[in-house]
Amino acid sequence: MSFEVSEKLQTILDIINEFVDRELIPLEKEMESKGFYAIEGELEKKRDMVRKMELWAPLHPKEFGGMGLPLMETAMIYEALGRTPYGLYVFGCQAPDAGNIEILHKYGTPEQKEKYCRPNVMGKIRSCFSMTEVEVCGSNPTWLLTTAKKDGDDYVINGHKWYTSCADGAEFAIVMAETNPEAESPHRKASMIIVPTKTPGFNIVRNISVMGHVGEGWTSHGEVLYQNCRVPKENILGGEGMGFVLAQERLGPGRIHHCMRWIGICNRCFALMCSHAKKRRRTPTQVLADSDIIKSYIADSAADILASRLMVLNTAWTIENKGVKQAMKDISLIKFFVANAMQRVTDRALQVHGGLGMSDDTPISMYYRENRAARIYDGPDEVHKIAVANRILREY
């Protein structure tokens, strides 16, 4: 097992890091203050620059306009792009589009791939993912109240979803709904269905305010009502009863992407912490870096980052070489470990910055607000810990 970076990949990473530093980080304050739609045009210019550099959509298939890189390489790219909130979007590999593209490419019909997957990869449209519900436990995808009932050649969808990632302005949603209520296995009750957002009955109630921030466009978290929303049967993805399987296929590699992005956030906060500690005076003759407490923060953060990185790359290697099923324990391990490591590193960085860290003069306060959600979405810590323990105990 080797995590050695090839010469070609190192060149790509160097170019990406330079682009992030030169083109994206200087725009962060404007991006955060103005909102997605106000800066969408500027972001599109940056996306065109990425296309000209032939670095567009590293993860996605070549036949649809991506680079088609393997999971291990894209993981390292996600780490580099994660240093800025808009890195993944500008390079065309952002969630939830990335996960939607993966399952469309693997399970979609030729017609679905041409209509939805290709323009999604090319960045001509955005998509959203609609699984989490208001009234039931979001960590249990086998229990859904949203239904998709057959009526002639159509499915009629009714239900109430929230945290439908990036619904605002999306061209289509991939919706998980119960199609087979009588199925013996709870894992075969649900299906995934493609729903164009202009379909009558697809109603966005609001963009949910999260930690005081109401996102819009790609940064939104939508509450959606499906009210007699009628779509043709051919919009089903992967066949009836495949919802749970597709969810697992989507979330396995997706957690690699999330975790490496989180490590990118750790790297950014770590660099800010060390830089500030070296120049901020604590006495007329000493800087913060002279304090043993600050040194312990730096050492603990370096350990958190290295441990996280090695764990995630090991999991990516396992997925790539042995498949998602063989990596399920590791996928759960990295999900809760890296989410917590990110929170620890961000918290230490904020503490070292003191009042400056509480302000919005650095990105640390923004990361601090947003990082807390990582311990909940894609499965809360507690669910993953129980899953890991159960898998371990089966071996005894």
State the pLDDT confidence band at 138, using cuts at 50, 70 and 90: confident
- Give me the DSSP letters along 211-247: TTEE--GGG-EEEEEEEEEEEEGGGEESSTT-HHHHH
The domain boundary residue, chosen from 237, 256, 287: 237
Q: Does residue 111 lie within any of the structural domains?
A: no
Please report the pLDDT score of residue 246 as a whole number.
93
Query: Per-residue pLDDT tens for 178-196?
Result: 999 999 999 999 999 999 9
Whether residues 338 and 261 share a domain: the answer is: yes
Task: Print the domain residue range for 33.
Answer: 7-104
Please report the pLDDT score of residue 346 as a whole number.
98
Q: Are 378 and 258 in contact (CB under 8 A)?
A: yes
Q: Does residue 137 lie within any of the structural domains?
A: yes
Q: Does residue 110 lie within any of the structural domains?
A: no
Whether residues 156 and 248 share a domain: the answer is: no
We report the CATH number of the domain holding residue 131 as 2.40.110.10
Whether residues 136 and 162 share a domain: the answer is: yes
Mean pLDDT, to the nearest integer, of 108-132? 97
* Contacts for 170 with CB less than 8 Å, ≥ 6 apart: 125, 126, 127, 128, 197
Whether residues 267 and 338 share a domain: the answer is: yes
Whether residues 374 and 248 share a domain: the answer is: yes
For residue 192, the SS3 value is strand
Query: Per-residue pLDDT tens for 286-306?
Result: 999 999 999 999 999 999 999
Whether residues 308 and 178 share a domain: the answer is: no
Mean pLDDT, to the nearest integer, of 71-93? 96
State the pLDDT confidence band at 86, using cuts at 50, 70 and 90: very high
Whether residues 67 and 206 share a domain: the answer is: no
Most confident of 84-93, 240-249, 320-329: 84-93
Helix H, strand E, coil C: the string for 241-306 is CCHHHHHHHHHHHHHHHHHHHHHHHHHHHHHHHHHHHHHCEEECCEEHHHCHHHHHHHHHHHHHHH
What separation in angstroms does the CA of 36 have from each of 41, 89, 166, 199? 9, 11, 11, 24
Q: Does residue 252 lie within any of the structural domains?
A: yes
| pTM (2 d.p.) | 0.94
Whether residues 151 and 68 share a domain: the answer is: no
- Give me the DSSP letters along 356-383: HHHSSSSTHHHHHHHHGGGGTTTS-HHH
Q: Does residue 348 lie within any of the structural domains?
A: yes
Please report the pLDDT score of residue 251 as a whole number.
78
The domain boundary residue, chosen from 215, 237, 259: 237
Whether residues 249 and 233 share a domain: the answer is: no
Domains held by the chain: number: 3
Whether residues 279 and 369 share a domain: the answer is: yes
